[in-house]
Every structure is written in structure tokens, then in C-alpha cells.
Structure 1
Amino acid sequence: MKLISVIVPVYNVEAYVSKCIQSLIDQTYKNIEIILINDGSTDESKNICSNFAEHFSNVNLFNTVNQGQSAARNIGLKHAKGEYIGFVDSDDYIEHGFYESLINAIESTDSSVASGLIVTDQINQNLTVINREEAITRIMGGDLGTVVWNKLFRADILKDVYFPIGQVHEEIEFNRNYLTRVAKLVVVPNVKYHYTSRRDGNTNSRFELSRLNVFDQINKFISDVSMEGQANAKRALIIFGAIQFLDMYKSAYRNSADKTIKLKIRRCFMYYFKHFDVLIIRKNPVFTLRCCRFLIAPDTYIRRQINGE
């Protein structure tokens, strides 16, 4: 029975972390090491994690000063001993058969990665094996998501692959690096990951200037897929870039960001919009219209979006 290492960054989640860890302990697949990285928590999270580590031999706790989720995940990667690696966020929890479904899918199809669906109302309830280009297309612009918590990875494809420190959207660079090593990815329906989207301290809506770094990350990815002639993946990344900077402008608007910052965001958005081709426009007419409205009057468009007009 092959070992799965599950990496869980922990920071000030005392209301959630017990349920998260217990869901990992209760997995039907039993050969799991649970790696908890306490990222300098100031609440009771550290003590809760310590209690689990004392009572369960497969729970390992590492304490560090606060450095952020990327650094915590990287510490976990360095300590992971498993032939497979998964990630779970400490305020989330998973169904009992989550990892059994993913590892069985990988082994039965000889794939490098198994991914659950972000969009769950899929008609196809069978395992689906896809190649690298379709994996990039669906991860960066579709139902598989850029996140890592709905996936299980063969450890060898993550060798020397780490999350960049001090960047927002660090998973873009992580995806770019590991996907170069993926020949096949298997899509697994009906795996249940329970994501806590609203909680005290959730930072998803805050605007940070470091978000502008995503422009270079996306463009590196576009350059890679262009060199390999992956036209569909390139289109998905162009749309992904446009969406990122639309959302970024909305965040900047809500936080009354300086006009200079909003202008930089708009210029980045325009870069991707200029690369829309006929196929993108035909497949995404509503989104294309939204983009045009944003370019004509960005603040008016965003205000109406926020107000639901």
C-alpha cells in the first residue's frame, strides 16, 4: 500500500482545523502521513495540532514563524516521504473516500495526476484521461481549477517544484512547472472536497499590489505552451489573464486604489484582450461583450457589477 503525504498549512484556524485533521484520519485509504505546518499561529491552532500529533502516529507537526501559505507548503514538500502528495487547506475537510478514489484512478490509468472537478454538475461520471494540453486548458480555464487541493500528485513530478514565496496566485507558477512533466492526467468525478469560502479573516477579497506579479507568471506560461504549439492551452491562458485583471480591477476599485494602479491593471487587461482571436470570441461572446464594456468605461462597468445592475 503506497504512502500518501498530505500537506496542511495551518494559520489561525482554531474553529476549523480539528474537523480538517479528523477528516484525514478517517480516510478509507489508511496509509497516509499527515504533515501539519503551523505557520506561526497566534490562536489555539498550534495546541490543537499538537494534540493530534501526540495521539496519532501518522500526524507530524512542524512549527515555523509566519511566512505565508507558499512557504508552509514548501516545508511540507521537503518533509514529505510519500510516493503521492496531496494538499488540503486547514479550514476545509474532505469526504472519507477522497484519497482512495484519487489514488485508485492514478494507478488504474497510469497517470501522473488525479484531479477532482471544481464544477460538480458533470454529466460524465466516468474516469477521463486527458493529455497535457487539455490538462492545462481545463486547469487554467475550466472545471479542474488552478488550485492544488482537489488533486493528488505522483511525488516524482513534484521533485524540485515549489511554490514561489511572496506572490499572490502562487499556484500559477506551481502549475506551470509541474505540468511540463505531466503526460496524462485523470479526471475523477464525485470526489468531495468541502471548501470554506466564507470565514472570519478570509483574505480573498483584499487588494494587494503584489497581484500585479501575476502578469509575468501568466505570460511565461503562455510562452511555454506557444513553443509547444498548444493553441487551446494558449487561448485558455489568455482568457484566464483577462479574467484575473478584471477581478483585480474590481478589487482595486472596492479598495479605492490609486488611479495609477488602476491604469496599470487596465493595461495588463488590454494586453490579453488584444490577443483574443475569432475562436475565443465565438466561444465566449458574453464574456467578450463584458470586456468591451469594461474597456469603454472601466469604473462605470465595475460599479454596475458590484451593484448588480
Structure 2
Amino acid sequence: MDRKKQQLVSVIIPVFNREKKIVRCIESVLRQKNVSFEVIIVDDGSVDSTLKVCHAYEDMYDQIHVYHKENGGLASARNFGLAHMRGEYVMFLNSDDELAEEAIEKMLNASVIYDADMVVGRYMEGHADGTRIRPDFPSKYANKMLTERQFWEIVALDGIHVGTSVCTKLYKARIWRALRFPEKYRVHEDEWVLHRYVARCNRIYMLDHAFLVEHVDESGEEEEFQYKHLSGADARLERIRYLIWKGFFAAALYNFGFGSRILLNGVKNLDDSKSKKEINRLYLEYKKIVPILMKHVDTKNRLRLSLFNMDLRTYGKVRSLFRKAE
């Protein structure tokens, strides 16, 4: 028997009030062929008919397992799914999105052939007029086994989903058994945990195949920046320290920039005392990193870091002027 057919893949789908979208998501998993999989749907306290829809699928398909819990956020729901998975492999799927055809087969095949601890694929954006493949990593890395250093090099090249989303990857479940998402945060959960998984990987394979369709909200409405979003700067702080410890300075600088933008958004949008206190705390922690990064960057970035170190608000104003001049 084909080895990959013997390997069970656990697909974890957290869901909250997605009665109109969860069907598309579930159906995309059920269309997967030539692989063994289980679908773990964790309803995180939905108050619409989402749970009813999911139970209807559970009644029809043996490989679907539906759980209901009190609302605790995405991290809590994913952790619940991890605690109940039975597969040798695991992948995460958001309830708004869907898998492309042959997604699991192609990812699993790569993992089995190359004994990869993590397989990273491309993804597509789903728009009203069709899908568009995102070039999330350079072609020179495609269909190749990478070291951890090379993986973070891609992140430094602005590979957003490569370094932030857990949903564009297939993982060996045994590594996740020692990891969990931080439940005290309601956003940026992926950034807290992904570098911890990568640190435990011996082999990372980059697959040149778009297997995830991430549907884009085209309503034009942007989420208001809130206190909870500051956790992104906190998550990046932990990652930056790890990357510096490993000597991956280009990736550390990229993540520093990402985190500093979150702090600037906080300064711009939050004016209450609690937010100001947290922004100041994070800023002081970021300042501690500046002297280390200064030794490993070019002149342009040394100037940038020096401005950041002087004053956060001044740095933001100068940064805005440079961006307008570009």
C-alpha cells in the first residue's frame, strides 16, 4: 500500500459564527483524494447555526469530528483541536478559507519523500473575479529542502505568510505535541508559536504549489486598531530575541521593522493610559535590541535604528516623511 495512504492527516478547523462560509471550507477538505484524513472542527461558542451545520456533516462523514466549547478565541480552539488529533500529520485551516484540489496529497507526498518536518506551500487569494497565486517565496527556493537559516532568509525577503501564518503548511504532529498557542492573546497567535516549531525542525521543504485559497474581504472595511493588536509587537519581540540568538540578523531586522510599525500604529490610534503604558513598555524592550542589531546592518538601517532609539514619535514622523518622498 502507498505509504502516504497509511499516514493520517488531521485537519484542524476552528470556527465561530461562520454559518454561511463553513460549508465551502468543509467541502474543500472532503474533495481531497488519495489520502487518509480526519477533520477536527472546533466550534468556539458560535451563536448562529454554525454548530448545526457542522453536526450535519459529522452525521454524514465518519472522518469529521465536531467539538463545541465556550468561546475562548482562535488559540484556544486550535489547542483544543491539537489535544484531540490522532494523525501523524496536522494542518490548520481557517473557516473562511478552503483547500485547493490535491492539496493534502501533494503536501503529504513531499513530506514522506523528503522526510520533511514541515512542508511550506504557496497560497492563492480568492477574489470575486477568481483566484490569484501569491508569489510568497522566491523561485530559487521552490521544491527545495531548506535549512532553518534559509527559511528565515525568506522571511527577511518579505515572505509574509511564510513567517506569520500556520495555515500554509503541513506539519509532523509529534512536534506539535510539545507546543501550544498562547491563549491569553486573541490576535497574532501564529507569530507567537511558529518560530518555536521551526526551531524543532530538522528538514523544511518548500513546495511550489498553491494549496490554500485565502478569501479576501472586499467590503473595503478595515478593522480598527485596538489594544489587543499590540500583542503583535510582543510576539515579534520574542521572535527577534530568538533570531538574534541564532545569528539570523537579517530576519531579526525584518521582524524589528514589523514590530515597530505596530508600535507606531498604537501611538497613532490609542490614547488611553493602559495602551500608553503597554506601548512604552514594549518600546523600552525594543530599544534594548537596537545596540545588537546596529552591529549587523548597513548604514541606512543604522540611521533608522538610531532614530528609533532616540524617540518613538520622532521616528514615526521621520519615517512618514521618507515614505511620502519615495
Q: TM-score, normalised by structure 1?
A: 0.82
What is the rounded CA distance, in whole Å, between the counterparts of 1:187 and 1:38 in structure 2?
31
- Equivalent residue number for residue 145 of structure 2: 129
Unaligned 5+ segments in structure 2 are: 124-133
Contact 2:191 2:232 in 1 (8 A): no
- For the pair 1:164 / 2:182, whether they are aligned, the reply is yes
Shift of the 172–126 alpha-carbon distance from structure 1 to 2, 3 Å rule, reads closer
Shift of the 20–290 alpha-carbon distance from structure 1 to 2, 3 Å rule, reads farther
Shift of the 92–209 alpha-carbon distance from structure 1 to 2, 3 Å rule, reads closer
- Equivalent residue number for residue 7 of structure 1: 12
Shift of the 219–107 alpha-carbon distance from structure 1 to 2, 3 Å rule, reads same
Pairwise CA distance, 1:184: 1.0
Q: How does 1:267-278 map to 2 (within 5 A)?
A: 267-277=284-294
What is the rounded CA distance, in whole Å, between the counterparts of 2:263 and 2:55 in structure 1?
38
Shift of the 280–12 alpha-carbon distance from structure 1 to 2, 3 Å rule, reads farther
Shift of the 304–257 alpha-carbon distance from structure 1 to 2, 3 Å rule, reads farther
Q: CA RMSD in A?
A: 3.5
What is the rounded CA distance, in whole Å, between the counterparts of 1:169 and 1:290 in structure 2?
24
Pairwise CA distance, 1:155: 1.1
Shift of the 14–88 alpha-carbon distance from structure 1 to 2, 3 Å rule, reads same
What is the rounded CA distance, in whole Å, between the counterparts of 1:280 and 1:29 in structure 2?
48
State which of 75, 81, 84 in structure 1 corresponds to 2:86.
81
Shift of the 68–287 alpha-carbon distance from structure 1 to 2, 3 Å rule, reads farther
What is the rounded CA distance, in whole Å, between the counterparts of 2:52 and 2:113 in structure 1?
40
What is the rounded CA distance, in whole Å, between the counterparts of 1:174 and 1:184 in structure 2?
18
What is the rounded CA distance, in whole Å, between the counterparts of 1:254 and 1:302 in structure 2?
17
Pairwise CA distance, 1:195: 1.6
State which of 155, 170, 186 in structure 2 corresponds to 1:152.
170
State the identity as a percent.
20
Shift of the 131–247 alpha-carbon distance from structure 1 to 2, 3 Å rule, reads same
Pairwise CA distance, 1:210: 6.9
What is the rounded CA distance, in whole Å, between the counterparts of 1:42 and 1:265 in structure 2?
36
- Equivalent residue number for residue 97 of structure 1: 102
Contact 2:227 2:270 in 1 (8 A): no
State which of 65, 72, 78 in structure 2 corresponds to 1:67.
72
Unaligned 5+ segments in structure 1 are: none
Letter in 1 for 2:294: D
State which of 170, 177, 180 in structure 1 corresponds to 2:199.
180
Pairwise CA distance, 1:225: 4.6
- For the pair 1:246 / 2:245, whether they are aligned, the reply is no
- Equivalent residue number for residue 298 of structure 2: 281
Shift of the 288–130 alpha-carbon distance from structure 1 to 2, 3 Å rule, reads farther
Give secondary structure in 1 for the equivalent of 2:298. helix
More strand by share: 2
Contact 1:238 1:275 in 2 (8 A): no
Letter in 2 for 1:188: L
What is the rounded CA distance, in whole Å, between the counterparts of 1:49 and 1:287 in structure 2?
53
Deviations 1:208-234 (A, max 9, x none): 25734743x44544444555xx322x4
Pairwise CA distance, 1:273: 4.3
Pairwise CA distance, 1:51: 1.5
Contact 2:88 2:172 in 1 (8 A): yes
Letter in 1 for 2:230: R
Contact 2:188 2:231 in 1 (8 A): no
